[in-house]
Amino acid sequence: MELLIKNVRIVDESKDFHGDLYIQDGLIQDYGVGLDRDCQVLEGNNFTLMPAFIDLHAHFRDPGYTYKEDLETGSMAALKGGFTFVNLMGNTNPICSSMEVVDYVLKKAEELGLIGVHQCVSITKDFDGQTLDHLDAIDKRVKIITDDGMGIKSNLVMYKAMVKAKEKDLIIMTHAEDEDLTPIDYRMSENIITFRDIYLSRLVGNRLHLTHVSTREAIKEIRRAKLEGHKLITCDVTPHHLSLWDNYYRVNPPIRDKEDVDEIIKGIVDGTVDAIATDHAPHTEEDTEKGSPGLVGLETAFSVSYTNLVKHKKINLSKLSSLLSGKSGEILSLNKGKIEKGFDADLVLVDLDKRIVVDSTKFYSKGKNTPFAGWELYGEIVSTIKGGRLMYSRNFGIRVKDGR
């Protein structure tokens, strides 16, 4: 299969120019100015072509909670938002503490044929905070272990988990929270576990990824660690933590203060922050009303991030591409996230000038829980391409496996 995309602004973490891009057999074969090939042509209409986005942190609720989301609806939401790969958390039912659950998720995702997925395995078995024996059965399909949503309180357990992760070349992704301290001070709760995990990972020498970092103290500690030469630490922040403050929408970790948002953006600008990840967490309206924390983020991530960072002149579009695509691809060791010859032709065409009003009733996700409803933002996804194949168009919706 061949496809030539003509007349677009081509942007990734290291380039920004107007030209064309040629795809063959699912890979980027060439890009430049004035390309001409005897094949199908997609007219870019001066829109912007970027690497498709890669989400380091999402919940698809499958298996077990598919009334909130499932692999199909989550994948459709991802495509509408410009994402072609997601890293899925393990707080399913059963909890993903075994390769049987991994097999189920990967097989179902392959059968759907919509997006690529990685399924995390829990650090401790069934999130019990203690047991690590199940990690011995993990095979090479698993790159990340995490008890996302559950902090590991025991210093000894986390130390042993990091030793095991180093032995098996796994990334430990941490949700920084000491649940005993949370009722007293959630800021202290996040900071203490952040400081501990950075210290332990430097001691052990394992790869550590701190997810949905939300406090200014945590950002400063990550910056300090990196400046002191800790090369195995990475982190992400969410679109909502970089754009909301003094807001009582219930998420975990919570929305912080303006000073925290300022430090997060400073961390984005100076390279302390490696990636933007959605923490896509769909809930039913009833569950949200009962206090279940979380929001859906895949369909708004680009426009929220673009509006608050690029339109407000905090960073340029190439930096945003690095945050949403390039660095995430590197962390997950994917052949995606950059516009380079030989990379997967996972691409997104965006209309940067289009003003949109967020309407959660039109989300593809089953979840409609968002604090951005009614917000006017810039940047709309025109098309999402995976492996050279048009998977989503704003005019025609999702293209499923049989071509509909």
Indicate which residues carry an active-site annotation: 279
Residue 319: exposed, middle, or buried by beta-carbon count in 10 A (0-12, 13-18, 19+)?
A: middle
Sheet holding 53-58, edge to edge: 53-58, 83-88, 116-119
What's 235-297 look like in SS3? EEECCCCCCCCCCCCCCCCCCCCHHHHHHHHHHHHHCCCCEECCCECCCCHHHHHCCCCCECC
For the chain, the C-alpha Rg in angstroms (whole number) is 20
Q: Which of 121, 195, 194, 191 is nearest to 161 (CA)?
A: 121
Residue 18: how many other CB atoms lie within 10 Å: 12
Q: For residue 380, how far is the Cα from the chain centroid?
A: 18
Chain length of the chain = 404
Burial class (CB within 10 angstroms; exposed 0-12, middle 13-18, buried 19+) of 315 = middle
Cβ atoms 388, 42 nearer than 8 A: no
Residue among 180, 253, 166, 258 nearest 210 (CA): 253
Alpha-carbon distance of 282 to 59, in angstroms, equals 7
Decide if 60 contacts 29 (C-beta within 8 A): no
CB 148 within 8 A of CB 91: yes
The DSSP letter of residue 400 is: -
Which of 56, 20, 11 is closest to 350 using CA atoms? 11
Three-class DSSP category at 156: helix
